[in-house]
Structure 1
Amino acid sequence: MQWYLKVLKNYIVFKGRARCKEYWMFFLIDLIISTILERIETVGEFDPLLSVSYHLATLLPYFAVATRRLHDTGRSGWWFLIGLIPIIGIIILIVFLCQDSEPNSNKYGSNPKH
């Protein structure tokens, strides 16, 4: 949960680097919360206002942590846009996000593992 809260606290920080663990833990917890909210709305027959509000609230933190994650692999945050290409772009983006950190400092900052 600390990784999730760390991303939310740095929701407008697009500079620097984010560890693989930081990105994927945020992604996992976000997915769990989204699933729970959608199930509550389905079972309770509520309007999707709750899940839509949650997704809008976490959109900027998600973009920020994804950008920092790409920086950690030595890529510009603009590579995130490759995910807009159907199927192949999403696969390439997932590969980039799964890659290990550059071992030393790069132009985006020092290695967050150290």
Structure 2
Amino acid sequence: MNFPEAIASCFRQFFEFKGRAARSEYWYFTLFSFLTQILGGVLDDIVGANGALSGFVGLALFFPSLAVLFRRLHDIDRTGWWWLLTFVPILGWIVLIVFCCTKGTVGPNRFGEGPLAGHA
């Protein structure tokens, strides 16, 4: 999955917390979110919006980011509840990063069919 396909897929599945997401889909969308947040912050400074634009961007990207994280965790055969590790300082983030970098299970698992071949 390439960069534009990943972004389109995540916005198509805005509130889809079921299924599985390939590593490429997750990491491309994370990169897109990061770059969009930076752009929002820069535009806030230029316009003098006092964080309104970057706040809107963060709010707009929250659910698709959470949904793709759930689907990424499903790909490694873990429940989406593992996202709660984000509330554990440092260690929780490290564990989630390792989980998101881990290769998904081959073939179907309890969360459904795997992402399309060649998209891992």
CA distance in 2, matches of 1:9, 1:34: 20
Extract unaligned runs of 5+ from structure 2. none
Matches within 5 A, 1:28-107: 28-107=31-110
CA distance in 2, matches of 1:47, 1:67: 32
Contact 2:43 2:53 in 1 (8 A): no
Residue equivalent to 1:109: 112
Point out 4+ residue stretches in structure 1 off by more than 4 angstroms: none
State TM-score, norm by structure 1: 0.94
Pick from 17, 24, 28: which aligns with 1:14? 17
Tell me the alpha carbon deviations over residues 34-81 of structure 1, each in whole angstroms, 9 at most, x when there is no partner.
101101212332221111011111101111000000000110000111
> How many residue pairs end up in the alignment?
114
CA distance in 2, matches of 1:26, 1:106: 23
* Aligned Cα root-mean-square deviation (Å): 1.1
Extract unaligned runs of 5+ from structure 1. none
State TM-score, norm by structure 2: 0.90
Matched residues, percent identical? 34
Tell me the alpha carbon deviations over residues 89-114 of structure 1, each in whole angstroms, 9 at most, x when there is no partner.
11001100110010121000111133
Contact 1:83 1:92 in 2 (8 A): no
